[in-house]
Amino acid sequence: MFWPGLKRASFAGEESEGEYDHSQTVQSSAQETLAAIAELRRRGIAGSDRIGLWGISRAGWIAPLVIEKLPSVAFWISVSGTDDKESFGYLLESNLRIEGRSESVIRSLLGEWRRGNEIVRKGGSFEENQRATRNLRQDPFYKSFFGGDVTEADYRRQQRTLIAEHPQFDEASGLMIYVPGFRQILKAIRCPVLALFGEKDSVVDWRSTMALYRETIGSGVDADLTIRTFPSCNHNMLQCRTGGIREDRETTGPRRPCDGYQDAILTWLKEKDLDCAPRCSFRNE
């Protein structure tokens, strides 16, 4: 079983190596996963003829790309999965609401954020961006999330990188499309899929993803899609009060997984005759 999108994974008592790089493209991560599967099979590792995928958050983009190239994948467990677009707009809106901003303030700050993004991607100046995002950059949550204002040098460097990559954007929302043609990729998936969501996820729009999965993976006559949601559960499938970024950063000590989360995975694997227990464990640390 592979865990695309994890900092560290544990299997049969062994842990993966390396460091997680969030700036790596999802396409690159998918290629890494495919290369790892190929290497396991080259070595003749037991079980490598029946590979399943488990992944959290951005792995919601990575796993479908792997399955597209390797339809023999036995199953996919999607945790806090994504729709086709960049998710920071949802994160910002959710956390501003959790932080107690009024709806009118939220609308205004989101408007500044969208305008600021538009200026960046269309080659606008640093000064223009600063004027357009004046109130947003003074918001305490926004400041704490980014740790202060970006410098002009950083702005120009990030802008050059973005423009050079030529990403696609959804004009209605202004959000970057992470995986072009994502809906068709999902519709082509034929393996069993288990999708798990925390109902207090303030990082990705779990309702949008859930609807997308139903419209695509779950639309065929031979569809094998199971969806479970968990109350009082955050993006990382941990018990929470608000699900907000601040709560997650300020909580100290051990965190308790959501009630029923791990049991849901193991029960589903047994029902699908895919049981790997007790050889597998799930740690999104």
Q: Residue 271: pLDDT above 50?
A: yes
**Residues 265, 253: Cα–Cα separation, whole Å:** 25
Give the pLDDT confidence score for residue 264 in this predicted structure.
Answer: 96
Structure-token pair, residue 42: 């080259």
Contacts 24+ apart (CB under 8 A), 211-217: 212/83, 212/84, 212/183, 212/186, 213/78, 213/81, 213/186, 215/183, 216/183, 216/186, 216/187, 216/189, 217/186, 217/187, 217/189, 217/193
Tokens of 54: 């488990």
pLDDT tens digits, one per residue of 228-268 = 999 999 999 999 999 999 999 999 888 899 999 999 999 99
Mean pLDDT of 159-174: 89
Preceding peptide of 278 cis, ω within 30°: yes
How far, in Å, CA of 219 to CA of 166, rounded? Answer: 32
Percentage of the chain modeled with pLDDT above 70: 89
CB crowding 105-144: b at 16 or more within 10 Å, else e = ebeebbebbbbbbebbeeebebeebbebbeebbebebbee
Query: SS3 for 61?
Result: helix
Give the integer Cα–Cα distance in Å for 42 and 82: 32
Mean pLDDT (whole number) for 198-216: 97
Of the listed ranges 6-15, 144-153, 273-282, the one predicted with least confidence:
6-15
State the Rg of the chain over Cα.
20
Taking only the tens place, the pLDDT of each residue in 61-72 is 999 999 999 999
Mean pLDDT of the chain: 89
Domain limits, the chain: 10-84+178-271, 88-177
Query: DSSP string covering 153-208, please?
Result: HHHHHHHHHHHHH--EE-TTT--EESSTTHHHHHHT--S-EEEEEETT-SSS-HHH
- pLDDT value at residue 221: 87
Structure tokens at 188: 């082509």
Which CATH superfamily is 10-84+178-271 part of? Answer: Alpha/Beta hydrolase fold, catalytic domain (3.40.50.1820)
pLDDT at residue 9 above 60?
no
CB atoms within 10 A of CB 228: 14
Residue 196: Cβ within 10 Å count = 25
**SS3 breakdown of the chain: % helix, strand, coil, rounded to 5?**
45, 15, 40
Question: What is the arithmetic mean of pLDDT over 116-131?
Answer: 96
Mean pLDDT on 183-203:
97
Give the separation between CA 210 and CA 194, rounded to whole angstroms.
11
Q: Is the pTM of this model over 0.95?
A: no
* Contact between residue 178 and residue 61 where contact means Cβ atoms under 8 Å apart: yes
> Confidence class of residue 213 from pLDDT cuts 50, 70 and 90?
very high
**pLDDT of residue 18 exceeding 80:** no
- pLDDT of res. 95: 98
Phi, psi of 195 (to 5 degrees): -115, 125
Comparing 200 with 284, the larger pLDDT belongs to 200
Instruction: Give yes or no for a contact between 185 and 84, defined as CB atoms under 8 angstroms apart.
Output: no
Closest to 187 measured CA to CA, from 68, 276, 39, 58: 68
Mean pLDDT to the nearest integer, 210-216: 97
Give the Cα separation of 82 and 78 in Å (integer): 9
